[in-house]
Amino acid sequence: MFTAGKRSGEDIEAINRMFTPEFRNRLDAVVQFAHLPHDVISKVVDKFIAQLDAQLADRNVTVELSDDARKWLAQKGYDEAMGARPMARIIQETIKTPLADDILFGRLKHGGTVRVIVAGEGAAAKLAFVFPEGPVLPRPEADIVEASRKRVRAEPEVRRAKSRAAAEARKGEKSKPVPDILPAKD
């Protein structure tokens, strides 16, 4: 159950109403989950933005979140009953879909950086985009990912070279005369 703080007996009542006694007897335990703390929800937001960055890396587009935008997404993308499940939908509706035209036909057509900020206050607050000017600098994380891709592609070649060298070494050992261990019989 996801609502451990509401009423401790409510979860048992719900299980008793929903499931037959035969099924309830097969349960080993009932695990109660607490609500996610704000710092964990912030990490979930960062995870989703990192995934979006990875998707946009091929187009040389990077997404940066302001602290206010991170807080806004954490607030709107988290539900006490559902946890962080709505986060993907909120990011899709507020960031991915509005940026699609800019990425395909607009300011980000040739790459760039977009900074996500909060425009407005209170109930009227919504996400907006700022497009900083200047050259696009590759981020170190993208360089590390690209280096690992190159390494993975080169691994089979390295393995083949090592196995060839080992086979040649074994071949060289076979061509050497083997000394007699037992004395020759006369």
Mean pLDDT of 155-177: 65
Task: Determine the residue type at 67.
Answer: D
φ, ψ at 83 (rounded to 5°): 75, -140
Same domain, 129 and 153: no
Same domain, 144 and 101: no
| Domain presence at residue 11 | no
pTM above 0.75, yes or no: no
Number of structural domains found in the chain: 2
d(CA 68, CA 130): 14
Q: Of residues 34 and 137, which shows the higher confidence score?
A: 34
| Domain presence at residue 60 | yes
Mean pLDDT of 110-130: 88
Query: Tens digits of per-residue pLDDT, 175-186?
Result: 555 555 555 555
| Domain presence at residue 144 | yes
| Domain presence at residue 156 | yes
Query: Tens digits of per-residue pLDDT, 82-96?
Result: 877 889 999 999 999
pLDDT at 46: 92
**79 SS3 class:** strand
**Range scoring the smallest mean pLDDT among 38-42, 90-94, 128-132, 136-140:** 136-140
Boundaries of domain holding 150:
138-169
Same domain, 151 and 113: no
- The yes-or-no verdict on residue 66 having pLDDT over 50 is yes
Angle at the Cα of 95 from the Cα atoms of 89 and 96, rounded to 5 degrees: 75
Same domain, 99 and 155: no
Same domain, 78 and 122: yes
Same domain, 46 and 57: yes
Same domain, 90 and 147: no
Taking every pair of C-alpha atoms in the chain, what is the biggest distance, in angstroms? 107
Same domain, 109 and 165: no
- Domain of residue 60, CATH code: 1.10.8.60
Same domain, 156 and 93: no
Same domain, 42 and 103: yes
| Domain presence at residue 162 | yes
Mean pLDDT of 147-160: 58
Same domain, 71 and 153: no
d(CA 73, CA 87): 7
| Domain presence at residue 24 | no
| Domain presence at residue 78 | yes
| Domain presence at residue 58 | yes
